[in-house]
Structure 1
Amino acid sequence: MIKPFHSTTYRRLLIAVSAVLPLFGCAPMIQTTPASIEQTASVSSHTIKLLAPAEITLATGYSRTLPDKSAWKPVGHLPQGTVYRPVGTIFTIEGRQVHEAYLVIRDSKLVGFYLPGEQNYSPLSNAVPLNLGEVE
C-alpha cells in the first residue's frame, strides 16, 4: 500500500532543499598554500610593465585581464618566482572571496599570485606568458 504524501514530509523536503540550494551558487575557494616573501639580493629593483594585455582564467571560473602598460614593482621572491605588486592601483582575484593579489612571475610567465593579506600563494593551473618591458 502506498502512503499518501503528507504536508510535514513536503515541508521537511522543502527545508532540506532550501538549506542546500545556496551552496550550489557559491564560487569555489581559491587554492592556496602558506608563503613568506623573501628579500634577496637577486631580486631586481626594476619596475616592469606589460606591453600587451594578458587574459587570466582562474580555477574558480573567474577571469581577469592584466592591462597593457600596467606597472609592477618587485617586492621579493618565493620559491615559485619573483613577486610583483601593482603600482598605483590594487589588483584582485576572485573565488568565494575577493583577495588582493600580487603577481608571481618566473621566466616571463605568470605562474600564480601572492595574497599579501593572507600571506598565501595561489598557483595558476596553466602559466600565462607575459609580454614584459622595463619602466623607463
Structure 2
Amino acid sequence: MKTRAWQLCCVAICAAWLGGCAFNIISVRQNPAHYEAIAGTGASWSLTTGVRVGLPEGKTSPLKTTSVWHQVGRIEQGDVFHTSDQNVWVVASHQHEADIVIRDGRIVGFFLVYERTFAPADKPVDIKTTSR
C-alpha cells in the first residue's frame, strides 16, 4: 500500500511541476516579402554609432558601430543590407538569421533570410552612416 501511495504522490508532484513549467510561445510578426537580389555591387556604408531596433515582439541583435553593410537586395518595404562583421538575429521562441531593411535612411525592419519574410520594427530607427 505504501508503494502505491508513494507512486501517486510522485505523479502528482511531477504533474504540478510540469504544469508550472509551461512557457509562452512568442512569434515574430512576419509579412511575406518578394525578394529581388541586386546584381553586382550595391550601395555600401558603415554605421558611425551602434543601433538597437525594437520589435513588437521578440528582440534583435544590437548593430555594432563601424559594421560595414552592403546592399544585397530589395523588397517592397525597402532595400536589404547584409554585413559580414557580425551575426544579426531576430529572436523570440525561435532564432532567425536576419538582414536589415532600410527605407529613407531609417531601419524599418528585418528581412528574415531563411523564411524570406519581413519583420517590421516597432518604430523605424534613424541611422548615422559613412559611405564606403
How many percent of aligned residue pairs carry the same amino acid?
A: 25
Contact 1:30–1:122 (CA under 8 A) maintained in structure 2: yes
Which of 52, 57, 68 in structure 2 is aligned with 1:60?
Answer: 57
Q: Which amino acid aligns with 1:128?
A: V
Gapped regions of structure 2 (runs ≥ 5):
1-7
Question: In the aligned structure 1, how far is the partner of 2:77 from the partner of 2:87?
Answer: 22
Contact 2:80–2:100 (CA under 8 A) maintained in structure 1: yes
Distance 1:64 1:91, change over 3 A: closer
Question: 1:34 maps to which residue?
Answer: 32
Question: 1:95 maps to which residue?
Answer: 92
Contact 1:101–1:116 (CA under 8 A) maintained in structure 2: yes
Question: In the aligned structure 1, how far is the partner of 2:57 from the partner of 2:19?
Answer: 20
Output the TM-score relative to the length of structure 1. 0.75
Distance 1:118 1:61, change over 3 A: closer
Deviations 1:71-123 (A, max 9, x none): 11101111110000112432112111111000000011110000111111111
Bigger mean CA deviation after superposition, 96-105 or 64-73: 64-73
- Report how many aligned residue pairs link the two structures: 125
Question: 1:113 maps to which residue?
Answer: 110
Does residue 22 of structure 1 match 2:21?
yes
Question: 1:5 maps to which residue?
Answer: none
Stretches of 4+ moved more than 3 A in 1?
17-24
